[in-house]
Structure 1
């Protein structure tokens, strides 16, 4: 197979290689370096999560203060106008109606005892503070529910409930919640990156075959990539309540993305762009090798000789292998060819197949976005026609905004193509073309000495008959 790392993993591999150098190293040295990398990555992820949670708590506090101010003002307005309403109604307002109205205004279900309900029908200014307390408590509970739920999606170990913070103001509740999250994340870093932790055990199992031997990283890039992948994934025991069976679930233990972002911090944008483009070009060539090997295996399985490939591919193979070598192996079984020839053949097949894949991507993206573009242009024509009533020149407006739409279309096409280049799965039709053998009738005619023109006339008559039959239906 062909192993090619993502840009993030490439940065991690470079980090390990810079730390260990180019000389042969032992399995223990590699283990220590990988555990150190895991710890740095876990710490970077922890710091990112803590900053995100701190920002979430600050935004939630601002939202609470804004909503609380609006709703408390509503409560004051309600109780200020309540005496006049009671006087105008002559005592016909029922307590339950007032409670439902006030609950709707503050968007919080309010609860009063019988004595408070009677006081409400008498003006009950002293109940305003009671209502404000309920509103503040309800807002705190709702906000804490949302915040805790958002945090638990990233930190499943967090066992927190809004009931734990009853009677505390927002600052104290936020401080307690942040402290609990920080404690859990610190424990997670220590647990996963410890010398006898789960990551270390998985690395020991993977490096067991090396023993006391030496490892040269430059020659074992695929193995290093595999070890980096092992560190990020783990398993945990699960229990299915429906079937009452235990099982194992694969989980993501850590990610390198935040540590990689720290490595790129402060670098020049032009230098970084050039490096990423170079990496993507390497990915394109790796995919080309993948498709070339895939197509070569298909030709071997179908026992297709090179002489049956389409003419453009044969010409390309002649230029790569040379005319003499191509003629020697054109009718040979591909399984019998030496490795150096198969490598060149796979490269040519990969180039051809990748071009066909890119054509499929271009056609798909353009077809999808072109329809959307035409719809927008049609809508623009209608809107420009309406704007003509506002004393604007419709032609100038149409040209200007249509140009903007077309520029955006080109940007969207480029973005869509790039986004699918490295993940696209080609259709079955995206294979190298093989020259088809002539039809059975043609072969039979030649064998029997029948002129080719007669066979062609017979084929044309058959096609015409089939067309007539289709018309009858």
Structure 2
């Protein structure tokens, strides 16, 4: 373009020249009015400053990406939108970025502490004893909060739930320096204790709900018969109310009932995960049977390929079932009450079951009247 302008004697089109260089370099050149004037006065000198301009454009791109990454990680605007002089003084830019990050982090820390204090004051009033359940709710609530953000697509403000705290880092500090064997032993001990506590809670809730041994679900009764023996179960079955049992005997029953309910919960979890993945597996096998004939075009035996792929798919099915069960094992809800279970009358001293209420006239199916013609 410069040679053409020199041969024809025409002035250089500065805009076209700069656009051509930008397209070739893939960056935007930082040219001010002085740079444009310099190109008009001495087009040949523009060749010498092209490397410096490209370096400045790449530096601006890297700086902008770094600032955007820091803002996305912090969730705060750093206020570094001002233009930088090129070539960039990277040590000075680094100090500027770190100062902005520290300032934004200090503001975030102050705001987070103030929000947590307000929420804890509303959650735990003064003069009220703090129990384990309240403490657990407070710890969970502390880790999440709400923030109002501006949605660029809808141009509206909306409230979103954001993570304020992460307990992974304090937990990692507590585990730092421990041996693998010691850590594994602590995890196993905690798991056994947590499992026993879950079983006790499930058993206590089920015993309070049932009221009498004969009102327990059949699977629970079978588990108690195996745990207590035939004589012990018959003696317990003759008891009219579980509330009159000694504390030691009741704790034993709570553990046995909770263990049975936990096994029932695990059984349902395995069946639910396996049923869902089995349907997907059958769908994939149907697709494999449909498309396996195309292997013949690649000089491969369809039967051999079908057996190989079917074996791999079944292995993946087993691995997915194990992974799904383990992933949901510690988040599975408590087993729901069996349908058709008999409820107790409120305030009934004898614990006799309530008779089902008679259907009201509105609930009875209405007979269709035959129309006479």
Same fold (TM over 0.5): yes
CA spacing shift, 1:85–1:171, aligned 2, 3 Å: farther
CA spacing shift, 1:342–1:120, aligned 2, 3 Å: farther
The SS at the match of 1:282 is helix
CA contact (8 A) 1:318 1:326 kept: no
Q: 1:292 aligns with which of 196, 203, 209?
A: 203
CA spacing shift, 1:252–1:338, aligned 2, 3 Å: farther
Query: Counterpart in 1 of 2:57?
Result: 135
Query: Counterpart in 1 of 2:255?
Result: 347
Q: Quick one: distance in 1 between partners of 2:201 and 2:4?
A: 80
CA contact (8 A) 1:83 1:122 kept: yes
Query: Counterpart in 1 of 2:270?
Result: 362
Quote the offset at 1:105 in angstroms: 5.0
**Equivalent residue runs for 1:28-107 within 5 Å:** 82-83=1-2, 95-97=14-16, 99-100=18-19, 102-107=21-26
CA contact (8 A) 1:313 1:352 kept: yes
The SS at the match of 1:163 is coil
Quote the offset at 1:424 in angstroms: 2.0
Q: Quick one: distance in 2 between partners of 1:224 and 1:261?
A: 24
Q: Quick one: distance in 1 between partners of 2:59 and 2:3?
A: 29
CA contact (8 A) 1:353 1:432 kept: no
Q: Which has the higher helix share?
A: 1
Q: Does 2:92 match 1:161? A: no
Query: Counterpart in 2 of 1:307?
Result: 214
Q: Does 2:233 match 1:328? A: no
Query: Counterpart in 2 of 1:52?
Result: none
Q: Deviations over 1:276-302 (max 9, x none)?
A: 3443343333222232233334335xx
CA contact (8 A) 2:295 2:302 kept: yes
Structure possessing the higher relative contact order (Cα contacts under 8 Å, 6 or more residues apart): 1
State the TM-score, normalized to the length of structure 2. Answer: 0.60
Q: Quick one: distance in 2 between partners of 1:384 and 1:88?
A: 68
Quote the offset at 1:92 in angstroms: 11
State the TM-score, normalized to the length of structure 1. Answer: 0.50
Query: Counterpart in 2 of 1:421?
Result: 329
User: What is the RMSD computed on CA atoms of the aligned residues?
Assistant: 5.5
CA spacing shift, 1:115–1:209, aligned 2, 3 Å: closer
CA contact (8 A) 2:144 2:162 kept: yes
Q: Does 2:313 match 1:405? A: yes
The SS at the match of 1:125 is helix
The SS at the match of 2:202 is helix
Q: Quick one: distance in 2 between partners of 1:369 and 1:223?
A: 38
CA contact (8 A) 1:288 1:351 kept: yes
Quote the offset at 1:122 in angstroms: 8.2
The SS at the match of 2:82 is helix
Q: Quick one: distance in 2 between partners of 1:385 and 1:235?
A: 54
CA contact (8 A) 2:2 2:12 kept: no
Q: Deviations over 1:37-79 (max 9, x none)?
A: xxxxxxxxxxxxxxxxxxxxxxxxxxxxxxxxxxxxxxxxxxx
Q: 1:373 aligns with which of 250, 259, 281?
A: 281
Quote the offset at 1:318 in angstroms: 4.3
Query: Counterpart in 2 of 1:146?
Result: 68
Number of matched pairs: 325
Q: 2:224 aligns with which of 317, 340, 343?
A: 317
The SS at the match of 1:424 is coil
CA contact (8 A) 1:86 1:93 kept: yes
CA contact (8 A) 2:264 2:335 kept: no
Quote the offset at 1:149 in angstroms: 0.8
Q: Quick one: distance in 2 between partners of 1:237 and 1:314?
A: 47
Alignment gaps of 5+ in structure 2: 150-160, 344-352, 357-373
Alignment gaps of 5+ in structure 1: 1-81, 211-221, 241-249, 441-473
Quote the offset at 1:358 in angstroms: 1.7
CA contact (8 A) 1:309 1:433 kept: no
CA spacing shift, 1:161–1:421, aligned 2, 3 Å: same
CA spacing shift, 1:297–1:119, aligned 2, 3 Å: farther
Query: Counterpart in 1 of 2:93?
Result: 173
Q: Deviations over 1:114-143 (max 9, x none)?
A: 646757998942562464255134313422
